[in-house]
C-alpha cells in the first residue's frame, strides 16, 4: 500500500465529464488499497478569466483582492470533484487552503508556502477518506487567502506530498510526460522517461510550464518522487507510463542538451541614458525588488558620454507595475526615457552536459543566425543558455534548435 498525491490540472477538470474521469482514476487507486490525497486546479480558462477581470477594473489592482478573486476557481473544482467521488462510492471531502491550513508568506499573488499542517488530512486518509484539496491557494499571515503564482497547483501538490510523507506525487495533465520541448509546437519532440531535478528546475524556470518552478525546487529539496502523466490516456496500470523527475545519477545516458524551452511571458525594458556611476543598478533594481517585480535577464550597455542604457526583462504581467515603479524612481535614477517591448520571447537550451562540454552556446547562436533571427539579450548559467528574440520567431527558433541539438524523434 502506498500513499499517493494525485494532482489534476485545468484541462483534466475542464468539464463535468472530465471531472468524472478524474474521479474514476482516483477510485482505481483507492480500490488498489492506496491512501490518496487529490489536488485540483481550476477548470482550464477560468483563472485567465478571473485575472482578466481584475486587470480590466484596475491594471494596478490590490493584490489581496486579486487573490480573493483568482482563488475561487479551485474552490469550485475541489467541491465538484468531491461530489463526483461520492457519486461513485468513494468517501471524499473538499479542502480549501485555509481549512488545512496551508500557511504561506504574505506575498499576495506569488506567495510561498511556509508550512502545511497535515495531521487532520492524515487522520482522514487513515480512516479511508480522500481529501480533495484546492490547489494554488493558501492562507497568509494577514489571515487572508493567498495564491502561489500561475501554475501553482503543482507546488500545492508537491508540498502536500512532502507534508504527508507520500510515496509519490503524480501530476496528471494533458500531455503524457515531459518532452525535450513543448510537444504542442514541435511535433518531433521526444518523451523523456526520466529527467534530472536540476534540468527540470532549469527548464521550468525558463518557461516549460508542464511543472511550476517552485514545485520542482521543493521536490528536489524534500526528495519527493514526482511523475508527470496523462489524465486522458490509459496506462496498463494506473499511475505508470509518464516521466519521472529523479536524481542526476539515476540517468544512464545523459545528453549534452536535454531540453529546449520558450517563454512568451517576458517583456523587455530599456532605461535610456542613466548616469554611468556606482549605485545606479541598485537605484533601478532596488525599487523593483521592493515592488515584488522579478527581474530576469540584464544587460548594461557601454557608452562614451558618461551615460549608459540598462536593458532587462520582467514578467509581462508585471510590466505596468515595473513602469510605474520606475516612473516613481525617476528622480533618484535620473534617466532620459523608458522604452518597453512586450513582443519578445526567451528561448533557452538546458542540459547538465553543458558543464563538461563547450560549444553549446555557439551552436545556438549559429543556428539562430542561419534562420536570420536577431538576438537581443543573452544570459547563461552553468547548465543553460537563454536568448531574447522577437516573439514572432518563437516557433521557428525552438524547432531549429531542437533539430540542431539532435533532439528530434526518429
Is residue 207 near Mg ion by the rule CB under 5 A?
no
Rounded Cα distance, 405 and 254, in Å = 13
Given Mg ion, ligand ASP, ligand ADP, none, residue 11, with its beta carbon under 5 to 8 Å by kind, binds ligand ADP
Using CB under 6 A, pick the residue from 10, 183, 239, 242 that binds ligand ASP.
Answer: 10
Rounded Cα distance, 59 and 318, in Å = 10
* 278 CB burial (10 A radius; 0-12, 13-18, 19+): exposed
Q: How far is the CB of 353 from ligand ADP (least distance, A)?
A: 17
Mask: binding to Mg ion, 6-25, rule CB under 5 A, as x and -? Answer: ---x----------------
Is residue 312 near ligand ASP by the rule CB under 6 A?
no
Q: 23 phi and psi, to 5 degrees?
A: -60, -40
Using CB under 5 A, pick the residue from 118, 140, 151, 259 that binds Mg ion.
Answer: 151
Rounded Cα distance, 158 and 166, in Å = 9
Using CB under 6 A, pick the residue from 136, 172, 197, 262 that binds ligand ASP.
Answer: 136
| Strand pairing class (344-350; 384-390) | antiparallel
Is residue 153 near ligand ASP by the rule CB under 6 A?
yes
Given ligand ASP, ligand ADP, Mg ion, none, residue 135, with its beta carbon under 5 to 8 Å by kind, binds ligand ASP
Q: How far is the CB of 254 from ligand ASP (least distance, A)?
A: 30
Is residue 152 near Mg ion by the rule CB under 5 A?
no
Is residue 150 near ligand ASP by the rule CB under 6 A?
yes
Rounded Cα distance, 197 and 249, in Å = 11
| Pick 157 or 260: Cβ nearer Mg ion | 157
| Pick 151 or 315: Cβ nearer ligand ASP | 151
Residue nearest ligand ADP by beta-carbon distance: 9
Q: How far is the CB of 406 from ligand ADP (least distance, A)?
A: 16
Using CB under 6 A, pick the residue from 97, 131, 135, 315 that binds ligand ASP.
Answer: 135
| Pick 125 or 211: Cβ nearer ligand ADP | 211
Strand partners, 104: 113
Given ligand ASP, Mg ion, ligand ADP, none, residue 108, with its beta carbon under 5 to 8 Å by kind, binds none
Binding residues for ligand ADP, rule: CB under 6 A, are: 9-12, 41, 151, 173-175, 178-179, 181-184, 208-210, 259
Residue nearest Mg ion by beta-carbon distance: 151
| Pick 97 or 351: Cβ nearer Mg ion | 97
Report the interface residues with ligand ASP, using CB under 6 A. 9-10, 41-42, 47, 73, 135-136, 150-154
Report the interface residues with Mg ion, using CB under 5 A. 9, 151
Amino acid at each position: 500500500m502506498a500513499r499517493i498525491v494525485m494532482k489534476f490540472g485545468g484541462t483534466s477538470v475542464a468539464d463535468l465529464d472530465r471531472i468524472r474521469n478524474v474521479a474514476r482514476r482516483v477510485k482505481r487507486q483507492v480500490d488498489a488499497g492506496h491512501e490518496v490525497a487529490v489536488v485540483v486546479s481550476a477548470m482550464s480558462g477560468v483563472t485567465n478569466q478571473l485575472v482578466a477581470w481584475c486587470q480590466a477594473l484596475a491594471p494596478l489592482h490590490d493584490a489581496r483582492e486579486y487573490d480573493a478573486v483568482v482563488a475561487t476557481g479551485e474552490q469550485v473544482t475541489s467541491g465538484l470533484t468531491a461530489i463526483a467521488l461520492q457519486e461513485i462510492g468513494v468517501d471524499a471531502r473538499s479542502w480549501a487552503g485555509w481549512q488545512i491550513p496551508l500557511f504561506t508568506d504574505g506575498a499576495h499573488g506569488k506567495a510561498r508556502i511556509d508550512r502545511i499542517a497535515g495531521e487532520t488530512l492524515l487522520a482522514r486518509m487513515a480512516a479511508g477518506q480522500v481529501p480533495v484539496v484546492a490547489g494554488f491557494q493558501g492562507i497568509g499571515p494577514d489571515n487572508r487567502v493567498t495564491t502561489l503564482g500561475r501554475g501553482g497547483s503543482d507546488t500545492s501538490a508537491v508540498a502536500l506530498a512532502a507534508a504527508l510523507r507520500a510515496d509519490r506525487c503524480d501530476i496528471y495533465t494533458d500531455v503524457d510526460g515531459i518532452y525535450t520541448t513543448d510537444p504542442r509546437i514541435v511535433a518531433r519532440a521526444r518523451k523523456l522517461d526520466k529527467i534530472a531535478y536540476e534540468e527540470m528546475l532549469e527548464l521550468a524556470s525558463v518557461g516549460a510550464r508542464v511543472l511550476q518552478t517552485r514545485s520542482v525546487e521543493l521536490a528536489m529539496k524534500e526528495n519527493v518522487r514526482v511523475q508527470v502523466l496523462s489524465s486522458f490516456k490509459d496506462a496498463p496500470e494506473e499511475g505508470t507510463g509518464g516521466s519521472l523527475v529523479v536524481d542526476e545519477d539515476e540517468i544512464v545516458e545523459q545528453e549534452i542538451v536535454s531540453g529546449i524551452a520558450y517563454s512568451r511571458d517576458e517583456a523587455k525594458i530599456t532605461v535610456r541614458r542613466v548616469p554611468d556611476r556606482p549605485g545606479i543598478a541598485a537605484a533601478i533594481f532596488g525599487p523593483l525588488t521592493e515592488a515584488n517585480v522579478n527581474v530576469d535577464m540584464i544587460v548594461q550597455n557601454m557608452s562614451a558620454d558618461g551615460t549608459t542604457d540598462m536593458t532587462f526583462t520582467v514578467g509581462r504581467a508585471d510590466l505596468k507595475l515595473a513602469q510605474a515603479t520606475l516612473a516613481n524612481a525617476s528622480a533618484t535614477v535620473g534617466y532620459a526615457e523608458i522604452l518597453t517591448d512586450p513582443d519578445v520571447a526567451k528561448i533557452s537550451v538546458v542540459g547538465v552536459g553543458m558543464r563538461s562540454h563547450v560549444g553549446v552556446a555557439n551552436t545556438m547562436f549559429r543556428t539562430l543566425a542561419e534562420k536570420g533571427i536577431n538576438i537581443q539579450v543573452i544570459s547563461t548559467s552553468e547548465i543553460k543558455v537563454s536568448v531574447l528574440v522577437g516573439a514572432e520567431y518563437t516557433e521557428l527558433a525552438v524547432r531549429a534548435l531542437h533539430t540542431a541539438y539532435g533532439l528530434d524523434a526518429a
